[in-house]
Chain A
Amino acid sequence: MSIPGEGLAKGLAVTLKTMTRRSHTQQYPDVAPELPPRSRGVIALLAENCTVCMLCARECPDWCIYIDSHKEEVAVPGAARPRQRNVLDRFDIDFSLCMYCGICIEVCPFDALYWSPEFEYAEYDIRDLLHDKEHLGEWMATVPPPPAHDPNGEPAKEEAAARKAAAPPATDQPSSGPPNARRRPGSGSRTDEEPP
């Protein structure tokens, strides 16, 4: 059927061929890997957008989000009564429990949570993996703009909302790329969720 050792020779030929090629080694600590924008590295928090609705903490499959808040009265000039609003005291994500599923980010109705591809936050002590509000906020700087959708599919809901807002009387802001100041999904009119 075949000469003995033919298989070995073929294998060695592959090795020889590969020897002449460039290696595929990634020089990781020296060269940072190029990660796609959707990479699920760490969760960033935009605390100003958070309204303490607790959806993320409730939907988290392993309950690794801890939220504390208190109510504060804000006197609105001209209004008869002072308004109440929630103030976020504590927003911790325990990354030693997190399963990186992204459900919290998906359910957040006010776009306060984002994925960042940053992954270098290993710690010597497991307790240090609990990132508090400030730590989570620092990740915001590393959040990349989302990739454009395939033209065959539906545009991103943010894109659709921006187009809708921009279309009728072209007075509002022009739709410029991935909108950073996002709105509530579904609401066409301008409803700023940020506290005054």
Chain B
Amino acid sequence: MAGMTADTGALRELTVGTGAGLDTADMVLNIGPQHPSTHGVLRLKLVLDGERVIACEPIVGYMHRGAEKLFEVRDYRQIIVLANRHDWLSAFSNELGVVLAVERMMGMEVPERAVWLRTALAELNRVLNHLMFLGSYPLEIGAITPMFYAFRERETLQAVMEEVSGGRMHYMFNRVGGLKEEVPAGWTGRVRAAIGEVRRRLPDLDNLIRRNDIFLARTVGVGVLSAADAAAYGASGPVARASGLDLDLRRDEPYLAYGSLEVPVVTRSAGDCHSRFEVLLDQVYVSLDLAERCLDQVDRISGPVNVRLPKVVKAPEGHTYAWTENPLGINGYYLVSRGDKTPWRMKLRTASYANVQALATLLPGSLVPDLIAILGSMFFVVGDIDK
């Protein structure tokens, strides 16, 4: 806009420029939709006063793929294909929510072996997800090296995930009533070896970044989210637990085999970027332990991993709400069925969507250079926001 003094009828004056007046206009800055730090297409509309952010409006929807609408015209097996794509970093956990909802509607009993296998795979998926963010978050604020360590561990775990499911991201291994197929012979041993290796090498990543002075300077005390705000915005998962919101469905409302496992919940109280990162890092250790304990059970229990399904799987008329502790937070699946082979409606409550809402209160007051640190520490997947 050209800065000029206009005098049209009513007195109207706009002064822009150095020395033109004491007041300066606020600048509106768009971060995104295409921006390397948004890992996807999240747009933030910022109002800046110099270097300081005074307002932030997250604008979502650039990656909306109509997943919920597509669910309505897909049968329950086909839904799994779509469900593991909205949050591509926690594909297994996403599949899980869908099948848990359908199984509950159908009153289906899942074989014990399948339950333990699912729990083990869900925890491995959590580790994979967290490792991704443990690598990408330092990268976003300038530390390139941790990415390589994180991906080395990811690769080790990907190998066993690929061996069992055939996929590296979209596992497509859950089915209504259990799992797609039995695991290959010797797989549990190889998973144990992989877990052992990751656990042995994880201190590398830990030592590299957790107490790194530059990293601390960028993250400690930056982007503090209070527990009250986290709760008000419906934030969940590592983001909320870093603010001291001690909520973990694996412990508080156990599904799968979590009821018979003791799930240590990692929390922090500071609520800043560093505690969010630390929660993620510590959860990796916890999840590795949990996965190992599940594998012990898997080796003890014999039997099928799925149930014989009718030719056409139909959820009886009714509705149910299943929620799971996804790697990024609470994912909810509201399934309404009219007795057809497709759901009448399947509403997703995704963790990332709720978590990014908190940015509107988190960002105002922070400096632009801190913006990326805060944005990255909210650990979201844009596909999970926009669905």
Give chain A's interface residues, CB within 8 Å of chain B: 2, 4-8, 10-11, 13-15, 17-18, 24, 35-36, 38-40, 59, 61, 99-103, 106, 115, 147-156
Contacts and interface: CB of A to CB of B under 8 A. Distances in A.
20 contacts: A4-B213, A7-B215, A10-B208, A10-B211, A11-B207, A14-B208, A15-B145, A15-B208, A17-B204, A18-B204, A39-B162, A40-B167, A61-B78, A101-B172, A103-B77, A150-B182, A153-B113, A153-B182, A153-B183, A154-B182
Given A61-B74, A153-B182, A38 B302 contact: no
What 4 A-B pairs come out closest when comparing CB atoms? Answer: A153-B182, A147-B184, A7-B211, A38-B166
Interface string B289-308: 00000000011011111000
Contacts of A35: 162
A150 B301 CA distance: 11
B212 A7 contact: yes
Contacts of B210: 7
B170 interface: yes
Contacts of A148: 184-185
Nearest to B209: A11
Interface string B56-78: 00000000000000000010011
B166 A36 contact: yes
B283 interface: no
B180 interface: yes
B261 interface: no
A106 B166 contact: no
Bin the interface of chain B by size: 35 or more
B188 interface: yes
Contact of B185 (A13, A36, A99, A150): A150
Contact of B166 (A24, A39, A99): A39
Contact of B204 (A7, A14, A149, A155): A14
B216 interface: yes
Contact of A8 (B77, B159, B164, B212): B212
B207 A13 contact: yes
A151 B166 contact: no
Given A5-B213, A40-B166, A100-B167, 8 more contacts: A14-B204, A38-B184, A101-B172, A102-B166, A103-B81, A150-B184, A152-B299, A153-B183
Nearest to A105: B166
B164 A38 contact: yes
B374 interface: no
A101 B302 contact: no
B162 A153 contact: no
B193 interface: no
Interface in B111-155: 113, 145, 149, 152, 155
Contact of A103 (B78, B182, B302): B78
Contact of A11 (B74, B188, B208): B208
Contacts of B152: 24
A31 B184 CA distance: 25
B302 A153 contact: yes
B82 interface: yes
Nearest to A102: B172
Contact of B81 (A5, A24, A61, A150): A61
Given A149-B183, A150-B185, A152-B113, A36 B163 contact: yes
